[in-house]
């Protein structure tokens, strides 16, 4: 049998955690292995339990969800990060993506949408609330906000980025392009540098805004690999 996706849930409101946990665990493929009431506790649990996905609120005592995300990425912990919050302000979205989160979903989303976001993040995909995506893309499209000096991507880098935009994992990208996972990682690192992006999600959104790849935020093609 396939192992369930192991999730750590962090929110400073016990009632909110209880509700989120209940509808996450209605999916037999998800298992909430621990809960945290503040950011410091969440980070300690993540270090100890190594879950597949950490579902974090932004505003928490001790450490914010953004600070926890930065720590996860700085320590190179193999954990997908999904921010689940009530805040839809563009500065929060930008800060979360720059910190390295894989997804950003509003608490007003339907239960199934949040479940699907957790699954997407566990598979290496980006998960962005549609309303957030539209707002963020509109912000990036304002004159003067996109660097005019973006270094051109090579054809291979564009191939990697197109597959990443469709939600493919590094392994699946490597299989399709007949290259190793490590080579895919190297291409992604150079893509991030050229596009001034801190995460896969931000790189894809910036590339869409710049017209380098077609919009794929609404594509439903499942990840492979």
Tally of helices (H runs) and strands (E runs) in the chain: 10, 6
This model's pTM is above 0.85: no
Q: Write out the residue range of the structural domain in which residue 194 sits.
A: 143-209
Residues 83 and 151 in one domain: no
For the beta carbon of residue 178, count every other beta carbon within 10 angstroms.
7
Residues 61 and 104 in one domain: yes
Residues 65 and 130 in one domain: yes
Residues of the chain short of pLDDT 70, as ranges, are 1, 130-150, 209, 214-225
Residues 83 and 183 in one domain: no
Distance in angstroms (rounded) separating the CA atoms of residues 161 and 126: 13
Could you read off the pLDDT of 155-210 as tens digits, one per residue?
899 899 888 887 788 888 999 999 998 999 999 988 888 887 777 777 877 777 67
Query: Which of these, 68, 90, 91, 62, lies nearest to 9 by C-alpha position?
Result: 68
Number of domains comprising the chain: 2
Residues 62 and 167 in one domain: no
Residues 49 and 90 in one domain: yes
Distance in angstroms (rounded) separating the CA atoms of residues 152 and 194: 7
Q: What is the dihedral of CA 117, 118, 121, 123, to 10 degrees?
A: -110
Residues 112 and 49 in one domain: yes
Residues 95 and 186 in one domain: no
Which CATH number belongs to the domain containing residue 162 in this structure?
1.10.10.10
For residue 43, being part of any structural domain is answered with: yes
Task: Report pLDDT for 79.
Answer: 92
Tokens 């805004």 -> residue:
209
Task: Report pLDDT for 96.
Answer: 80
Q: In a 3-state reduction of DSSP, which class is residue 167?
A: coil
Token code pair at residue 183: 């080579």
For 127, the enclosing helix (H) or strand (E) is strand 127-128
Return the DSSP state at 225: -
Task: Report pLDDT for 32.
Answer: 92
């Amino acid at each position: 049998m396939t192992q369930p996706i192991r999730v750590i849930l962090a929110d400073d409101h016990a009632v909110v955690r209880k509700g989120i946990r209940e509808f996450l665990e209605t999916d037999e493929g998800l298992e909430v292995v621990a809960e945290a009431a503040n950011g410091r506790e969440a980070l300690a649990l993540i270090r100890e339990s190594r879950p597949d996905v950490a579902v974090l609120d932004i505003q928490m005592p001790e450490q914010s969800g953004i600070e926890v995300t930065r720590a996860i990425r700085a320590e190179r912990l193999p954990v997908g990060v999904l921010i689940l919050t009530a805040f839809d302000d563009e500065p929060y979205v930008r800060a979360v993506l720059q910190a390295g989160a894989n997804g950003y979903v509003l608490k007003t989303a339907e239960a199934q949408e949040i479940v699907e976001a957790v699954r997407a993040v566990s598979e290496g995909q980006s998960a962005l609330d549609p309303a957030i995506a539209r707002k963020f893309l509109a912000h990036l499209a304002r004159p003067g906000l996109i660097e005019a000096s973006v270094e051109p991507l090579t054809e291979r880098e564009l191939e990697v980025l197109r597959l990443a935009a469709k939600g493919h994992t590094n392994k699946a990208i490597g299989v399709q392009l007949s290259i190793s996972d490590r080579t895919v990682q190297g291409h992604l690192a150079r893509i991030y540098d050229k596009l001034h992006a801190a995460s896969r999600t931000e790189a894809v959104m910036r590339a869409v805004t710049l017209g380098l790849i077609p919009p794929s935020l609404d594509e439903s093609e499942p990840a492979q690999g």
